[in-house]
């Protein structure tokens, strides 16, 4: 995990995972799945909805449905900066 991810989590972002079900362009009776993951803000999920809009605009396979979950990995009250260590023998 890099510093960018930690900073996002401290600002309230959580990991959003979405499973998109879509129809194959040439075979409308066949459903396929695509998994998408990114850090996003609940409850509005702007990045998820931006991706769904991109899909509808640019991808030929029409969406059937979307399932998603959101998990806050860390909150400001759970993290603290440690500036030193003490070792006991």
Domain limits for position 26: 3-76
Residue 74: exposure state from Cβ atoms within 10 A (0-12, 13-18, ≥19)? middle
| 26 domain-assigned | yes
Please provide residue 7's backbone torsions phi and psi, each rounded to the nearest 5 degrees. Answer: -60, -40
39 close to 8: Cβ distance less than 8 angstroms:
yes
What span, in angstroms and rounded, lies between the C-alpha atoms of 40 and 80?
22
Q: Tally the domains of the chain.
A: 1
| 34 domain-assigned | yes
| 88 domain-assigned | no
| 84 domain-assigned | no
Please provide residue 64's backbone torsions phi and psi, each rounded to the nearest 5 degrees. Answer: -95, -50
| 85 domain-assigned | no
Q: In this predicted model, what pLDDT tens digit does every residue of 26-44 receive, in sequence order?
A: 998 999 999 999 999 989 9
- What is the average pLDDT across 71-89? 65
- Residues sharing a CB contact under 8 Å with residue 76, sequence separation 6 or more, in sequence order: 10
| 86 domain-assigned | no
pLDDT at 86 over 60: yes
Q: In this predicted model, what pLDDT tens digit does every residue of 57-77 receive, in sequence order?
A: 999 999 999 999 998 876 555
């Amino acid at each position: 995990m890099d510093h960018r991810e930690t900073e996002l989590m401290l600002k309230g972002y959580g990991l959003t995972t979405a499973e998109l079900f879509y129809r194959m362009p040439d075979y409308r009776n066949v459903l396929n799945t695509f998994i998408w993951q990114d850090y996003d803000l609940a409850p509005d999920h702007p990045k998820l909805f931006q991706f769904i809009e991109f899909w509808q605009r640019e991808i030929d396979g029409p969406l059937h449905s979307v399932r998603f979950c959101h998990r806050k990995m860390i909150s400001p009250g759970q993290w603290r900066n440690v500036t030193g260590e003490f070792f006991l023998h």
